[in-house]
Structure 1
């Protein structure tokens, strides 16, 4: 019984329960100012934090929190409309996942009408496009393809959300096809991913985007989908490798395979989300992987400070073929890159066990 309790994803000590952690982080988000991309548009880290808070409000039936989160969005229909991201890049188009999440919760058509174009334009080649964008489009991929591992959450999340609200399989097919491309191009034999073809380093949060992206797709893909087996194979190969690289403390490092690198929270949270989901949905062996996920969660929670801010979060990071660049990245406190995946873990823990 003691072994089962220590390896359970359903029972946690006070201070570590998903209900407590979710409440701290979600309400903390409602107090924050917008984090704008280039000072102009709602950024993708804020969008993901918003999404995580909404999912927590929905799964806990917290109407007060839901109202606060809806009120935060309301000005985007009017006085803050200029903050809506343009639809020209993976980091911009993913914003559509937010109004589509609000539509799923509220069933208000205005959210659907706002969100869906962000998914559609990701595959609609603009008139002014370069040769590379045209090449990707001609092959059936998004013209926004760039083979950075970050993309496979950005693209996947808005396309899977579009599928959830429309039931149109084209959105799943797009995301799955794109995911297989990235798996084939970037996953290494050890299960981890280079940041890009010309950047041969296993950056933590970058790999986290892949782990979370595969997780989102597997949650939606039918068992019979042509690409499901390949994506599940890539996912399981990655999870096996992550199990090996988890530190004794339960975290994963900024560079996953470098023991002397610092423990980084956003990547750790993304891996933990993928592991929890895998155990809950039966993609991973519960006896083998539930202890890994629990150990990670127990290690993650103490990184939240008294204000509800996650510490040791790598700042936004472009690719660079320089290992020291990743070692030297600034570590932020309260960065939305870290707040968001903690909330994804919370929601995954609160979901029913298979």
Structure 2
């Protein structure tokens, strides 16, 4: 009888371990739950002043903070939060129209993802009509295009292509939202084609990405934009899309490398492969979002990667202060072929570059 019980326990053990792995992204200590953390961050956005690009237009970090809070409100059915976010947007379209971004740069066109998100939530066509031009002009060659922009356009890519890794969230997100809003395959197909080109040009054999072809450093948040961009595409690309397998390969190769470079404390460095570089939160949160999504969507092995994602989330939350602001966020960073430049970048508290990906993590964790 005892032998039979021992045999039964041995047979059940793998199932118990699998169940435990599944709970790694569900059961958290008090103060670490995604709903409570997300609420702190989403309502904090409402108290913030506008974060402007070149002092003129709503910036991409604010846009992503806004859409992150909006998605959190939808997922948790927080009608009060949704209404407050919508009121802020209506004010932008009336009293603050001068702050609406123009459509001439990759960091500005991505603003279209915000009205497109409002359209999906409300079905109000005014938001669709506002958002789609930002997606369309990304592939419409301007009259004053330079030779390089004309060359990218002639190859079927966005004229806004720069081969900076940041682009693969800026371009991907507005095209992905346009696809979700309209169902038109051209948006997701061209985003996927662009992503494959960036993968071929910038991903290294170890799975990580140079900031640009002439900047051979593995900058944390830059790599985070790539990780999050691939994640957004994989969520939407049909199984039979011709570029899906290549993007999935690039994503999985990157996640393996990130697992290997994760600090003992749980997050990643400003320069991922430099052990003496400082721990940075915005890129780490983007990696965590990509890892959580991969485990839940089945792109990554649950037993191998759920512990990595959990460890990262538990390490990230303590960086949020009592006001709901994330610390140790690298400021906006242009490319530079100088390693010390990345070591010396200032660190902000409450910067939307960090607030946004933390929100992405919360709704990824809340997904069924």
CA contact (8 A) 1:7 1:291 kept: no
**Residue in structure 2 matched with residue 149 of structure 1 by the alignment:** 165
What is the SS of the residue equivalent to 2:279? Answer: coil
Q: CA deviation at 1:62?
A: 0.1
CA contact (8 A) 1:57 1:65 kept: yes
1:198 aligns with 2:204: no
Q: CA deviation at 1:76?
A: 2.3
TM alignment of 1:5-16, pairs within 5 A: 8-16=24-32
* Change in 2 beyond 3 A, CA 1:6/1:262: farther
Q: 2:296 aligns with which of 280, 302, 318?
A: 280
Q: Distance in 1 between matches of 2:121 and 2:76?
A: 12
1:332 aligns with 2:348: yes
1:229-257 Cα shifts (integer Å, max 9, x gaps): 00000000000000000000000000000
TM-score (structure 1 length as normaliser): 0.98
Q: Distance in 2 between matches of 1:151 and 1:160?
A: 14
TM alignment of 1:70-219, pairs within 5 A: 70-219=86-235
Number of residue pairs aligned between Structure 1 and Structure 2: 352
**Residue in structure 1 matched with residue 238 of structure 2 by the alignment:** 222
Larger Rg: 2
**Residue in structure 1 matched with residue 269 of structure 2 by the alignment:** 253
Q: CA deviation at 1:6?
A: 9.4
Q: Distance in 2 between matches of 1:81 and 1:218?
A: 34
Q: CA deviation at 1:86?
A: 0.4
Runs of 4+ deviating beyond 3 Å: none
1:234 aligns with 2:257: no
1:115-164 Cα shifts (integer Å, max 9, x gaps): 01000000000001100000000000000000000000000000000000
Q: Distance in 1 between matches of 2:115 and 2:36?
A: 26
Q: Distance in 2 between matches of 1:205 and 1:77?
A: 30
Q: Which moved more, 1:189-198 or 1:32-41?
A: 32-41
Q: Distance in 2 between matches of 1:349 and 1:75?
A: 31
Q: Which moved more, 1:75-84 or 1:57-66?
A: 75-84
Q: Distance in 1 between matches of 2:155 and 2:92?
A: 35
**Residue in structure 1 matched with residue 33 of structure 2 by the alignment:** 17
Q: Distance in 1 between matches of 2:70 and 2:298?
A: 25
1:29-64 Cα shifts (integer Å, max 9, x gaps): 001010111111000000000010000000000000
What is the SS of the residue equivalent to 1:86? Answer: coil
CA contact (8 A) 2:165 2:222 kept: yes
TM-score (structure 2 length as normaliser): 0.94
CA RMSD of aligned residues (A): 1.1
1:289 aligns with 2:305: yes
CA contact (8 A) 2:21 2:302 kept: no
- Structure 2 residue runs of 5 or longer lacking an equivalent are 1-15
Q: CA deviation at 1:5?
A: 6.7
* Change in 2 beyond 3 A, CA 1:306/1:198: same
- Structure 1 residue runs of 5 or longer lacking an equivalent are none
Q: Distance in 2 between matches of 1:6 and 1:15?
A: 20
CA contact (8 A) 1:7 1:290 kept: no
Q: CA deviation at 1:7?
A: 6.1
What is the SS of the residue equivalent to 1:199? Answer: coil
Q: Distance in 2 between matches of 1:6 and 1:180?
A: 31
**Residue in structure 1 matched with residue 8 of structure 2 by the alignment:** none
Q: 1:271 aligns with which of 269, 283, 287?
A: 287
Q: CA deviation at 1:78?
A: 1.4
CA contact (8 A) 1:5 1:11 kept: no
